[in-house]
Amino acid sequence: MTDNGTTGTAHLIRYLGRGGFSPSVIDRAAGTSVFTEDGRELLDFTSGQMSAILGHSHPEIVATIGDQVGRLDHLYSGMLSRPVLELCRRLAESLPAPLEKTMLLSTGGEANEAALRMAKLVTGGHEVVSFARSWHGMTQAAASATYSAGRGGYGPAAPGNFALPVPDRFRPDIVDADGELDWRRQLDLAFDLIDAQSTGSLAACLVEPILSSGGIIDLPPGYLGALRDKCHERGMLLILDEAQTGLCRTGDWYAFERDGVVPDIITLSKTLGAGLPLSAVVTSAEIEQRAHDLGFLFLTTHVNDPLPAAVGNTVLDVLTRDRLDVRAAELGARLREGLNELAARHPAIGDVRGRGLLIGLELVTAVGGTADTDRLGAAVTARASELGLHMNIVQLPGMGGTFRIAPALTATEAEIDRGVEILDKALGDVT
């Protein structure tokens, strides 16, 4: 028995930082619900680890895995298969020009590692800019570009990493005459500092269009275009990490489409595999050619494996056929309406934000201290779980009152409404 009450964990390495494992063992999952060994059903408003956009055990995913694993599952990394060629072609068709060259990997951290390695090779630089509340992975370059957690105690990060202030409109740090976030001045000041610290070797800027672990911070309209211009003025590549925002979750196929800003490189992961380990790096033919000419090397055991690629093709089939971008926008509007109604009745809700089915709900307390907000968030999370709803709390110091709400794109209206009702009761019981 561990300190959080979960049985059978005596032989597990605890990898969640200061956090603990969930108190129940999960036996199975289907659709928008997971079921514990003791028979409880939990409505899953995190889509697993933000990945199961088609819900759990989607029948077409199950069928694809069964067929593909019996035909061709894994190959030598230099061999190609039809599922890989098809998925790379289809990703190129889903993206605007000039994004057309793809490599398939396993995790988001791995994809970001490859993208940064490519950017450094192509530009000849090594310095990387990312947001001060970023999460891009736990491998070396990705972890060095991650500021939200995990920096202490592991020795020096890779040299040449710089943090951008987060354009948080709910808690602005630089404001205009009306008290609103002045993100243009914030961005100008940030790059003044970066220029002062840089050794003249800037390579890339790696950001999410909506910061997820940073508190569901949607970049203000216009910000992404201004950031791209800052990058290109300095010879940097703009890399967008759409692990959680890509493939219909925000109501668009890709979150960057709202701003009309095409990145130099995009990385995909979580949503692409719908719960299986699959990620992608997509860039232009020009950048790929330059990298190839310079001998680009990023070899992993499971690069371009056929089994996850086949699943990725099925994910694209379902997203396209069922118009899940439209579905995400509709369900997201319904969810936002329900949460806004709760905000009108619960003073503890300070802000509701996000796009499509990626919503942030930030709690506040009368005291206003971060410790009090963390405690409130933990209490609401625990009570919601008791009532049958699993939500993900942002694991940042002082951000423990911000919920990351991301149901499956296949959820029903009734499930969305039930989740809001449970949250309503949990807030009432706790506050």
Q: Which residues are catalytic?
A: 135, 208, 241, 244, 270, 404
Q: Which residue has the tokens 């450094």?
A: 120
SS (H, E, C) 287-298: HHHHHHHCCCCC
Strand partners, 102: 282
CB atoms within 10 A of CB 254: 24
26-30 vs 33-36, strand pairing mode: antiparallel
Burial class of 257 by CB neighbour count within 10 A (0 to 12, 13 to 18, 19+): middle
In angstroms, the Cα distances linking 229 to 182, 221, 317 are 18, 14, 35
Rounded to the nearest 10 degrees, the angle between the axes of helix 183-197 and helix 223-233 is 20
392-393 vs 402-405, strand pairing mode: antiparallel
Spell out where 196-269 has E strands. 202-207, 210-211, 217-218, 237-241, 265-268
CB atoms within 10 A of CB 142: 28
Is the preceding peptide bond at 98 cis, omega within 30 degrees of 0? Answer: yes
**Edge-to-edge strand order for the sheet containing 358-363?**
349-355, 358-363, 402-405, 392-393
99-105 vs 41-44, strand pairing mode: unpaired
